[in-house]
């Protein structure tokens, strides 16, 4: 089946407007046709450079201008990053994603991060980085270092973007995504919901993602984590069923992509997460922290996988197939 890149806004809105059960049934059918519906990819995040960011993203606890209690730190040393990557691998993660609170990496930081990427890759993990805007040269350098994925989100619909971020344009994000694709990196690109946007604006985000020259290989759908001190703290919480609709529509529009149930899981019930997996989410962040905010305990995630009969997805890499350790744990605890 060929992938589409010509969705109209009306089509995407109509999808989000479907009766809930119809939307879920369609999404699950697509999911089961294109993926193993019981396998979920497991990534772990590490903030390698926390806080002090010059940007003004209204959701973000790491923007220097908001008083959120996040202290600005320097770039972590290589050894400390590798310790965290080894721990993540031992806990069952197959991808390690390194995040930095930068507008864009400075030249002096590029080689340091390239070294981290090379060493994490050598551990047998997939590598991902999210470091802000990139030039073509920087994207090429990271590719050469062994980077598999680059995360750079559109965050929201083009017409809502100006209410959330003023220090860089939507078009800047598209430019960075172009450099990432040209470098031959896989794209991880999604957004945040629950920022006060309308359903039509959520359709606008999905339409823009699905009409990119290639569907992002990975599509993180974040539910706003409200952090005291950020402008979006106090936003009316999104109806959880709207969140499930977003996952389901992403699955239908981008059938081959991995749809990641991303930030906001710590505040979700097991039942809500199960609905998201049914609707087509097949990737999560695993480990007790996202970048600066909390994520479910690993024990809770392992128990949820076991209860749902979900297994962590193995990853194919050049050196062979790495199997996630919690596959066995999940099955063992289910059988016990
Ligand atoms: N500074 C880089 C950038 O903005 O591209 C990389 C890190 S930034 C924290 C990565 C993404 O995290 C953002 O694009 C946003 O989608 C997500 N994010 C940040 N704060 C969040 C929050 N409070 N709730 C949900 N998602 C959040
Ligand atoms: C993405 O889409 N979500 C992750 C990852 N990409 C980098 C980040 C979520 C951050 C949540 C807020 C925090 O922990 O600071
Ligand atoms: Fe900075 Fe990224 Fe946070 Fe925006 S989302 S303030 S660019 S760390």
**DSSP-assigned letters across all residues of 259-289:** EEE-TTGGGS-HHHHHHHHHHT--EEE-SSB
For the cut 80, the answer to whether the pLDDT of residue 325 exceeds it is: no
Q: Where does the pLDDT of residue 328 fall: very low under 50, low under 70, confident under 90, or very high at 90 and above?
A: very low
pLDDT average, residue stretch 280-285: 96
For the cut 60, the answer to whether the pLDDT of residue 324 exceeds it is: no
Pocket mutation for ligand 2, best pick of 44, 45, 61, 268 (most atoms within 8 Å of C-beta) = 45
How far apart CA 241 and CA 279 sit, in angstroms, is 11
Pocket mutation for ligand 3, best pick of 132, 225, 290, 293 (most atoms within 8 Å of C-beta) = 132
Task: Say which residue, 302 or 325, is predicted with more confidence.
Answer: 302
pLDDT average, residue stretch 271-294: 96
pLDDT digits (tens, 9 = 90+) for 225-257: 999 999 999 999 999 999 999 999 999 999 999
Spell out the alpha helix ranges (H) of the chain.
9-16, 20-34, 78-90, 107-122, 136-145, 158-161, 170-182, 199-210, 240-253, 270-279, 298-308, 326-335
- How far apart are the CA of 119 and the centre of ligand 1, in A? 25
Whether the CB of 63 sits within 6 Å of ligand 3: yes
How far apart CA 10 and CA 71 sit, in angstroms, is 44
**pLDDT on residue 336:** 26
pLDDT digits (tens, 9 = 90+) for 151-182: 999 999 999 999 999 999 999 999 999 999 99
Q: Pairing relation of β-strands 126-130 and 320-322?
A: unpaired
For the cut 60, the answer to whether the pLDDT of residue 296 exceeds it is: yes
What percent of the chain has a predicted confidence (pLDDT) above 90?
A: 91
The chain-wide mean pLDDT, for the chain, equals: 93
How far apart CA 113 and CA 72 sit, in angstroms, is 18
Which of 90, 172, 85, 170 lies closest to 129, judged by CA?
85
How far apart CA 257 and CA 270 sit, in angstroms, is 23
**pLDDT on residue 2:** 79
Contact 176, 39 (CB under 8 A): no
For the cut 80, the answer to whether the pLDDT of residue 317 exceeds it is: no
Which of 38, 44, 93, 96 lies closest to 282, judged by CA?
38
Q: Which residues line ligand 1 (CB under 6 A)?
A: 59-60, 99, 101-102, 130, 132, 152-153, 155, 192, 222, 224-225, 227, 263, 291
For the cut 80, the answer to whether the pLDDT of residue 96 exceeds it is: yes
* pTM (2 d.p.): 0.94
**pLDDT on residue 1:** 61
**pLDDT on residue 92:** 86
Q: Where does the pLDDT of residue 314 fall: very low under 50, low under 70, confident under 90, or very high at 90 and above?
A: confident
């Amino acid at each position: 089946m060929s992938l589409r890149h010509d969705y109209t806004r009306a089509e995407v809105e109509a999808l989000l407007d479907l009766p809930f059960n119809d939307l879920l049934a369609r999404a699950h059918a697509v999911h089961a046709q294109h993926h193993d519906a019981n396998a979920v990819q497991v990534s772990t995040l590490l903030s390698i450079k926390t806080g002090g960011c010059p940007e003004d993203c209204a959701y973000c606890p790491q923007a220097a201008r908001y008083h959120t209690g996040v202290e600005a730190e320097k770039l972590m040393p290589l050894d400390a990053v590798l310790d965290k990557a080894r721990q993540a691998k031992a806990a069952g993660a197959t991808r390690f994603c390194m995040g930095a609170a930068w507008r864009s990496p400075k030249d002096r930081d590029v080689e340091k991060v390239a070294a981290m990427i090379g060493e994490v890759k050598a551990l047998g993990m997939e590598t991902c980085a999210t470091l802000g805007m990139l030039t073509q040269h920087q994207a090429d350098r990271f590719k050469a270092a062994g980077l598999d994925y680059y995360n750079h989100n559109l965050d929201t619909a083009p017409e809502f973007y100006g209410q959330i971020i003023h220090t860089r344009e939507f078009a800047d994000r598209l430019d960075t995504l172009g450099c990432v694709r040209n470098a031959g990196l896989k794209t991880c690109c999604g957004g945040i919901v629950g920022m006060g946007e309308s359903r039509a604006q959520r359709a606008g985000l999905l339409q823009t993602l699905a009409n990119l020259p290639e569907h992002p290989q990975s599509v993180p759908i974040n539910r706003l984590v409200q952090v005291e001190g950020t402008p979006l703290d106090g936003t009316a919480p999104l109806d959880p069923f709207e969140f499930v609709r977003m996952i389901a529509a992403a699955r239908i529009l981008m059938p081959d992509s991995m749809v990641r149930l991303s930030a906001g899981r710590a505040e979700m019930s097991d039942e809500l997460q199960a609905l998201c997996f049914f609707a087509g989410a097949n990737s999560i962040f695993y480990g007790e922290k996202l970048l600066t905010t909390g994520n479910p305990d690993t024990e809770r995630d392992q128990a949820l996988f076991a209860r749902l009969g979900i297994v962590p997805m193995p990853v194919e890499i050049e050196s062979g197939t790495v199997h996630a350790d919690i596959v066995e744990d999940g099955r063992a605890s289910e059988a016990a």
